[in-house]
Amino acid sequence: MNDEVACTHCGDTGFVIVVDARGASRARPCACRRASPEATAGIDGILDAARVPKRYRDCEFDNFDAWGEHAFALANAKALAVRYAEEYPLSDRGLMFMGPPGVGKTHLAVATLRRLLTVKAVPCLFCDVQDLLRQLQATFDQKSGLTQLELLQPVLTTEVVLLDDLGGRQFSPWLEETLAHIVTTRYNDRKATLVTTNYLDEAPDRRTPTLEDRIGIRVRSRLHEMCHLVLVRATDFRSAVKRADHHRMPERVTPRREGA
């Protein structure tokens, strides 16, 4: 028995499980979550609170195109992310978007955050890994007004965190230690972590580092346990749109539904 529970509908989990007409279970945000200050702040307030950078403010599932020769791969990546957001929090694992630069990994990850924030009122945080590491290092040189704990606290405790651009920095024991602390704490607390990375498990050639080369085997294998992989194989969107108006591209396809 727990006398401390504030919401008797959800037992303070923030979700109630509903069964639809076909008998499928879905988690819906409890009314106690919808009444939170963030939920009434409007989309800009919600994205500000989640620290989503201006550059990615408009990233949604609806404006993510499955285009070009990799249309099916893109449609599948999007379908996985849409389904993940729909089913959250049925699985305590997150998603790891892997693929070359410019293929829409951050776009899809932010669209997932946005869905969780707006439809399910889940507290989320966008964390640029390079920024965080720079800020943490600045605390050593006393160039930062914030302490390490203050910088790390939201990354460790927010319900869903996006670690954007993992592996962007050369490997070092300090880097490994810092990343291990973050992912292990979140794993132990069963909090979902979304990740984007330009590095793959198998490099295309011997000169290109793998994700393991960049973040170390310990963090890499923990992430394997924590995340479903979403491989995003495509061409750099930014250089392609310079050559063509992608909204007029004929090869767009409709994302396939999972299990279809």
Nearer to ligand ADP, 82 or 152 (CB): 82
Residue 101 is which amino acid? P
Residue 125 CB coordination number (10 Å): 18
Size of the residue set binding ligand ADP (CB under 6 A): 16
For residue 236, the minimal CB distance to ligand ADP (Å) is 8
Report the number of secondary-structure helices (H) and strands (E) in the chain. 10, 7
Nearer to ligand ADP, 141 or 245 (CB): 245
CA-CA distance, 113 to 62, in Å (whole number)? 14
Which structure tokens are listed for 86? 């729909």
Could you say which of 50, 81, 85, 106 contacts Mg ion (CB under 5 A)? 106
User: Which range in 100-108, 181-189, 205-213, 215-223 contacts ligand ADP by CB under 6 A?
Assistant: 100-108
- Applying the rule CB under 6 A, the residues between 50 and 79 that interact with ligand ADP are 59, 63-65, 67, 74
- Applying the rule CB under 6 A, the residues between 171 and 230 that interact with ligand ADP are 196
Could you say which of 11, 101, 174, 256 contacts ligand ADP (CB under 6 A)? 101
Select from 120, 218, 110 the least CA-distant residue to 165.
Answer: 110
Sequence-separated (6 or more) residues with CB below 8 Å from residue 182: 152, 155, 156, 163
Contact 198, 205 (CB under 8 A): no
C-alpha 247: how far from its chain's center?
Answer: 26
Residues that bind Mg ion (CB under 5 A): 106
Residues that bind ligand ADP (CB under 6 A): 59, 63-65, 67, 74, 101-107, 196, 237-238
